[in-house]
Amino acid sequence: MSRLFGTDGVRGVANRELTPELALHLARAASAVLIREHQQARGAAQGGVQSAAPGNGRARVLIGRDTRLSGPMLESAMAAGFASMGVDVLLAGIIPTPAIAHLTREYGADAGVVISASHNPVADNGIKFFSRDGFKLPDALEDEIESLLPGIGKPAGQPDGLPRPAGADVGRTIPLEDAAERYIRFLVSVAQAPQPPFRGWRIVIDAGFGAAYQVAPEVFRRLGAEVIALNAEPDGARINVGCGSTHPEMLQEAVRKHRASLGLAHDGDADRLIAVDENGEQVDGDAIMAICARHMLEQGCLAGGKIAVTLYSNLGLRDCLREAGGDVVVTKAGDRYVLEAMLKEGLVLGGEQSGHIIFLRHNTTGDGVLTAVKLLQVLQAKGLSLAEAAKVMRRYPQIMVNVRARRKDEVSTHPAVQTALAQAEALLQGRGRVVVRPSGTEPLVRIMGEGPEEEVVRQAVMHLAQVVERELGARARRITSPSSPPRGPAAAARASAPSRPRPITCTTAPVPLGRRTSRPRPPSLRSTRPAPRRPAGSSRGPPAPAPAGVPGSCAPGFRTGDAQPSPRLPQQKEWVFSYVWHRRIRGPAASRPGVDGRIAAPGIPWL
């Protein structure tokens, strides 16, 4: 049976996979572990943990959640489970994930729990645990909790064998009225300025209808900025829908419209930050880390001269730091692996391209609002705009395709996928890389290609996506190309035209791959560009030969239709790209032993 805990807690569709019953049993199982840890901590401290929270003397847990409609349901179930084990429950309400990591320590709680699915769709939810010191639980403790669950392989409702105290020994549930205010004061204190440091800045903040709807705007108002808040309502039915860090198009338009200094976008639980510069151009987590790390190197406060990044970070980030005398430590995808590397190497900065960035001197997990404060501090100190500061990093073309897969875990062992991976690597001819891995939180296979020539990278990635789709029962869902928009006068001219926003994220039209199709395209997707005239007497001719070193036709040609506004989400200004594949994959199915399905091109030095 697969492990219940993923890379970021327990996730699933709320009330179907992640049910109230499962939440209750998770709380009871976690309580058994927490009570033991609590007793050990009290014995070591010789008198218990002192705290500002009521109920001192018994084990207690702090629970926070985002705005999802399923949040109160799961919160109630977990509170009941903890109380049934004699654990006191402190309810922080709607609050960012990093706030729970910080407040768990401040309140002296034995653990923190976040009910959130971060950037996932509205229907999803998740449960994530933090230890008493604010770090995510290690795998061993998660496995121990999972082993105590009664519903795994057993009939529902079967007793779990755990104690059931009664009377005065039942745990209490205590709402916290000052949780958000404590967290806001903490973030303001990070700026370390006697006067509001950001006076004169105009900042647009997109809270994504998520957990930062109250905290993020208030922090920057107290720091002196003029704040224009978007999607700053606790509307769980719209969390992450066409907004926030995963859909910054609305923020980009708002920054241009209000002539703001910059824009800040958070995801549903506010552990991420994607920024937008004064020209409306996106600045992702890699660029934010480059700006902050270079400044910290100059100030001599970047421990070890290194930062921890995942294998998805752009190669330009490595080059940026090496030019300044620094370097990167590369980990597997996932913030928990970034944190592990930081603790092992003694680093103070690390993160992901998605904007999940850890400033370990201030918090123990990714913190979107904290990252925004630190970013603005650097800009203020250097006297630069965000667009000027972002030039410090030169970016390699990078293309990401998410493929919805029913059997995502087979991607690293499926023979056809491994053959396609070898073909994609051969197409790049050692000058780039292809990373393939199953998502830890969604039923997706993530395929990322990177190299100096964008069109070659695109062909390699799309060929591999076609094979994964065909073999694992999937359909390409989302493409990001390239990882960051280009900069310069041409980009500024495009940004000034409201009718043609810069495409950041697009959705592939459901066109069958691997064969020609005679099905007409919808009117909104048809190209308005006239077809080139063929000289009289000419013929179509044979197909172009495959690139050298690639067996058969491993890199099928494709045609990219003109970008048109999506009829499904016109208000989001997404763009639809229709790829029509001209021929099937042919050639011998050459096997390649040793490929693990996660990364190709092992010759890249930093990998």
Q: Read off the pLDDT of residues 23-58 as tens digits, 9 standing for 90 and up.
A: 999 999 999 998 888 778 766 665 544 443 444 468
pLDDT on residue 598? 33
Ranking 391-395, 425-429, 461-465, 546-550 by mean pLDDT, the lowest is 546-550
pLDDT tens by residue, 94-118: 999 999 999 999 999 999 999 999 9
* 240 touches 211 (CB < 8 A): no
pLDDT tens by residue, 293-323: 999 999 999 999 999 999 989 989 999 999 9
pLDDT beyond 80 at 517? no
Cα dihedral across residues 128, 131, 133, 135: positive or negative: negative
pLDDT on residue 525? 36
**Got the DSSP string for 309-342?**
EETTS-HHHHHHHHHTT-EEEEE-SSHHHHHHHH
The DSSP call for residue 599 is B
Average pLDDT of the chain is 80
Higher pLDDT among residues 594 and 210, named by residue: 210
The token duo for 51 is 């705290």
pLDDT beyond 70 at 501? no
Mean pLDDT over 222-229 rounds to 98
pLDDT beyond 80 at 406? yes
Residues identified as active-site: 118
Q: Model's pTM, two decimal places? A: 0.73
* 452 touches 397 (CB < 8 A): yes
pLDDT on residue 152? 53
pLDDT tens by residue, 547-563: 443 333 333 333 333 33
Ranking 35-39, 200-204, 385-389 by mean pLDDT, the lowest is 35-39
Ranking 94-108, 207-221, 361-375, 593-607 by mean pLDDT, the lowest is 593-607
Where residue 200 falls among pLDDT bands split at 50, 70, 90?
very high
Ranking 256-265, 334-343, 468-477, 488-497 by mean pLDDT, the lowest is 488-497
Cα dihedral across residues 506, 509, 512, 516: positive or negative: negative
- State the burial class of residue 573 (Cβ atoms within 10 Å of its Cβ: 0-12, 13-18, 19+): buried
Cα(495)–Cα(282) distance, rounded to whole angstroms? 11
pLDDT beyond 50 at 567? no
pLDDT tens by residue, 163-186: 899 999 999 999 999 999 999 999
- Which residue intervals of 224-268 are DSSP H helices? 249-258
pLDDT on residue 225? 97
Mean pLDDT over 229-237 rounds to 97
Where residue 65 falls among pLDDT bands split at 50, 70, 90?
very high
pLDDT on residue 194? 84
pLDDT tens by residue, 137-167: 988 999 999 999 885 545 555 577 898 999 9
Where residue 8 falls among pLDDT bands split at 50, 70, 90?
confident
The full 3-state SS of 393-462, as one line of letters, equals CCCCCEEEEEEEECCHHHCCCCHHHHHHHHHHHHHHCCCCEEEEEECCCCCEEEEEEECCCHHHHHHHHH
Higher pLDDT among residues 598 and 417, named by residue: 417
Higher pLDDT among residues 460 and 154, named by residue: 460
